[in-house]
Chains A and B, each alone.
Chain A
Amino acid sequence: MNCREMKRHLPDYAEGEIAAARAAEIEAHLAVCAACRARLETLHGERHSVRRALQALPRIQASPDFERRVLEALPERMALPQRMVRPLSLFDRLDAVFARPVCKLLGSSVFGLLCGLLIVSLLAPRSLSAGDSPAPGDTTAPSVLAAVSEGTDEVAAIRQLRRLYALGRRSGAAEDDGLHWLHHVEKVGKQAPQEKPPRLQSLPRSNKKEPPWNAGILVSPSSSSSGSWC
């Protein structure tokens, strides 16, 4: 790599936004070129001066009643069915399993057999008595919790929730349980093993690509573009 190419790539290198192979070429050139090293130092200085200034902006925390306010606002926007808080039926479980692409092929081959099971399951009693509804703080509560706990990441959880939501709407159940739905989502979040407190305080950026916050929570350094979770 020559100095002209370096001039083009150095800003991205200084940002830590360059591929490893290209970074190696740049580092090889930097080892022998004082002018490019000086240019890089200038870029680092400019970047850090802006970053340092912006770090003066205070970080705040959501107020204690933030969640409550969101939860209170939700039922007006989304009417979720009562059956969202009941235990998953065989129908629900089969439906979720056969939604997975890998199972679709297999599922189609045994579709006839499963139809019988699904019909039986659909005919089974679905509604819960009031006493069956999950109590606040009951982390073993079924339905959404059970569905989400089977997922490995947040997107899978959201998809599964959406499927349950659609199932509930198809059954025409009462639509009054948005709060229960979100309470369960929150409980799952508490239990998620990968959950860590967010890193609000930024650390100096190295030339290596860093995740936006704690690695392992949302995106791994190598997966930011692939949409990978956890």
Chain B
Amino acid sequence: MPLRRYRDRVVNLAYHLLRSREDAEDTAQEAFTQAFSAINSFRGESQFWTWLYRITVNLCLHRRRRAKPCESLDEQEQNDAEEHTDAGAQAVTKLMVERTLDQLSAPLRVVLILRETHDLNYEEIAAVLNIPVGTVRSRLSAARLKFRQLWQDAENEEEQHR
């Protein structure tokens, strides 16, 4: 039940945080394995999926930290090349979004992804990240502001290249 119900969501969360399908699958698999094997430590005070999401986010952040910056960049470019078979505006937009997200700090990036691509509300994000709702609100506001600024810069840069 938990595995089938949440597998795509967890894989997508990892994918949006890591940008590599292979890394996302590995991380999601590890998250499920950790969650199930530690089921006795799940006290039921939070919802199971928020616990699972927290494990996933922590694993993703750990994985990103562990990756060397130059390797990470190379891998990302390779992934971009592999996944951008649909050339065109959509692919360009995806690249711009990913690069803009990469320029956000990890706390801002995570909160923005949980909110805008996974549709979690403030309280759910707070539960996943184990932070107060007020912190979610301020991080989200800062993340949006920063994202819009960076997005504007990216659009201007794109215009200049044309």
Contact at B148–A46, with CB atoms within 8 Å? Answer: yes
Interface residues of B, CB < 8 Å — how many?
A: 57
Interface centre among B42, B117, B151 (most CB of A within 10 A): B117
| B47: contacting residue among A16, A166, A209, A219, CB under 8 A | A219
Contact at A53–B48, with CB atoms within 8 Å? Answer: no
Quick one: given A73-B33, A78-B37, are A12 and B137 in contact (CB under 8 Å)? yes
A67 close to chain B: CB less than 8 A: yes
Alpha-carbon separation in the docked complex, A192 to B11 (Å)? 22
B37 — which chain A residues lie within 8 A by C-beta? 74, 77-78
A211 — which chain B residues lie within 8 A by C-beta? 119
Quick one: given A12-B137, A63-B25, are A50 and B112 in contact (CB under 8 Å)? yes
Alpha-carbon separation in the docked complex, A29 to B116 (Å)? 28
Contact at A58–B94, with CB atoms within 8 Å? Answer: yes
Quick one: given A78-B37, A154-B48, are A62 and B28 in contact (CB under 8 Å)? yes
A172 close to chain B: CB less than 8 A: no
A190 close to chain B: CB less than 8 A: yes
| A53: contacting residue among B5, B7, B47, B147, CB under 8 A | B147
Closest beta carbon of chain A to B113's beta carbon, Å: 7
Alpha-carbon separation in the docked complex, A213 to B15 (Å)? 18
| A17: contacting residue among B5, B12, B96, B121, CB under 8 A | B121
A200 close to chain B: CB less than 8 A: yes
Contact with B along A142-172 (1 / 0, CB 8 A): 0000001000001101110110011000000
A225 — which chain B residues lie within 8 A by C-beta? 123
A224 close to chain B: CB less than 8 A: yes
Alpha-carbon separation in the docked complex, A126 to B57 (Å)? 42
Contact at B47–A55, with CB atoms within 8 Å? Answer: no
Alpha-carbon separation in the docked complex, A202 to B119 (Å)? 7
Contact at A213–B1, with CB atoms within 8 Å? Answer: no
Contact with A along B6-37 (1 / 0, CB 8 A): 01110110011000010011001100111011
B42 — which chain A residues lie within 8 A by C-beta? 158
A residues 182-230 with Cβ under 8 Å of B?
182, 185-186, 188-190, 192, 195, 198, 200, 202, 205, 209-213, 217-219, 224-225, 227, 229
Alpha-carbon separation in the docked complex, A215 to B9 (Å)? 15
Task: Name the CB-closest residue of B to A70.
Answer: B32
Alpha-carbon separation in the docked complex, A34 to B66 (Å)? 51
B49 — which chain A residues lie within 8 A by C-beta? 218
Contact at A186–B121, with CB atoms within 8 Å? Answer: no
A residues 20-59 with Cβ under 8 Å of B?
46-47, 49-51, 53-59
Contact at A200–B12, with CB atoms within 8 Å? Answer: yes
A134 close to chain B: CB less than 8 A: no
B69 close to chain A: CB less than 8 A: no
Alpha-carbon separation in the docked complex, A70 to B33 (Å)? 6
A residues 60-102 with Cβ under 8 Å of B?
60-63, 66-67, 69-70, 73-74, 77-78
Contact at A66–B11, with CB atoms within 8 Å? Answer: yes
Alpha-carbon separation in the docked complex, A67 to B33 (Å)? 11
Contact at B25–A212, with CB atoms within 8 Å? Answer: no
Alpha-carbon separation in the docked complex, A52 to B92 (Å)? 14
Contact at B93–A77, with CB atoms within 8 Å? Answer: no
Contact at A62–B94, with CB atoms within 8 Å? Answer: no
Known: A57-B94, A63-B25, A185-B3. 4 other contacts (CB 8 A): A53-B97, A53-B147, A67-B7, A229-B47
